[in-house]
Amino acid sequence: MEIFVNEQKLESVIENEQSLGEVFDAVRRWVETNGKFLLSCVVDGEEFTQNTMRDSSISNASKMEFFVGEELDILISSLHELDSYVDKVGTTLLGRDSLTEKESKELGDGIEWIRSLLESAGKLLKLKYDQIKPMGTGSTVSEILDALSRNSYKLDGTTAIEEFLEYLRDLKLFVMDLVARASVLDLELPTLREILDTFIKAVPALKESFVKVNESYQAGKDEVATHLLTQSVSQINVLLTSFITLRQKLPGMDFSKIQIAERSFEEKTNDLNDTLASVALALEEKDIIRAGDIIEYEIPAVLDEFLPFLEKVKEQADSLAV
C-alpha cells in the first residue's frame, strides 16, 4: 500500500502496522510530532472512517492519502467548518425521536472527525482537554467527546437525543472559544496592540456583561446566561492568548518586569484564571447562587485590579514596537 501526505509519497512509513487504523494512528502521531495537524484521510478515493475501515488489513487497500495542515490559517478555517458542522447536527436532531441507519453512521463518522481535528488542534495549541471544562458545564472536553462518541450510535428516543444535544451544546461552547483563541495566534503586531487597547477601553462594558450573566441565572434563563458567560470569558481568553503572541512578535517583551504594589503581572493573571475556574466549579456543583456572586462581584473586582497591569503591558509593547 502506498501512503501520501499532501500528494507527496512517503517512504518506509509502515513498520509493524497491520491495519488501516494502525497506519492512521502512526501517521497522525508523526504529523503532530512535527507541529502540524491532520485535516483528513482518504483510502482509495473514499474518506477514511474509524468504524468501517479501522480494522481493515492494509492488504485491502492500495493507496492511503493524508491531508495535513501546515499553516495556522488552515486550522482556523477547519475550526470554522467544525463550528458550522456542530450547528448542522444540532439543527438536524432538534425535534427528532430517531435516526435512520444511514444518518446514524454518518453522525458516528462525523463525531470521529471532530475528535481527530480537535486532537490535532490541541497538540498545536498546547491544550489539555482532560483539564478544560467549557464555561457553564461540568464535563471536560475529553468527557464531552467520549459521551458524544458513545451515544451517537444509540439515538433511539427523544431522551437519548436530548442528552446528546446537551453534550453537543457543551462542545459548541468550547469550539466558539477555541476559534477565538486560535484566531489571535495568527494576528500581526498592530492588530494585537489594537486588541489590547480595545480591551482596556471595554473593561467597563465587560464588567456590565458579567452582571447581566448573573441576572439571567437568577431569572432562570440558564441557556441565555451560559451563552453570555461564554462570550464574556472568550473575550478574556482572547486577551490572554494575545500575550503569548505578543511575546512571539516582540522578543524583548518581558512580563516578569511588570509589577505594581509588589504584585506581579503573572500573579494577577493567575488570579483572573483562578476566579474563572471557581465559576466553572460552582456551576458544576449546580450552586447558581455562589456562581452568580463570583460572576457579578468577584470577576469585575479582579478586572479592576488587572487594568493597571494591562496599561503597563501596553506601554512596554508600544516602546518595543517603535
- At residue 17, what are phi and psi to the nearest 5 degrees? -70, 130
Instruction: Say if residues 120 and 29 touch (Cβ distance below 8 Å).
Output: no
CA-CA distance, 187 to 244, in Å (whole number)?
11
Q: What is the pLDDT of residue 205?
A: 92
CATH 3.10.20 is held by the domain 2-70: yes
Q: What is the mean pLDDT of the chain?
A: 85
Q: What is the pLDDT of residue 90?
A: 93
CA-CA distance, 316 to 258, in Å (whole number)?
9
Instruction: Say if residues 139 and 170 touch (Cβ distance below 8 Å).
Output: yes
Beta partners for residue 4, in sequence order: 9, 65
Residues 6+ apart with CB under 8 A from 145: 111, 114, 115, 118, 129, 171
What percent of the chain has pLDDT above 90?
Answer: 30
Dihedral sign for Cα atoms in the order 47, 50, 51, 53: positive
pLDDT band at 101 (very low <50, low <70, confident <90, very high): confident
DSSP calls for 257-319: G-EETTEEHHHHHHHHHHHHHHHHHHHHTT-HHHHHHIIIIIHHHHHHHHHHHHHHHHHHHHH
| 255: DSSP letter | G
CA-CA distance, 57 to 21, in Å (whole number)?
9
Whether residue 82 is predicted with pLDDT greater than 90 in this model: the reply is yes
Q: What is the pLDDT of residue 35?
A: 62
**So where are the chain's domains?**
2-70, 187-321
pLDDT band at 295 (very low <50, low <70, confident <90, very high): very high
Between CA 306 and CA 289, with CA 233 as vertex, the angle to 5 degrees is: 95
Q: Chain centroid to CA 192: how far?
A: 20
| Amino acid at the residue 91 | T
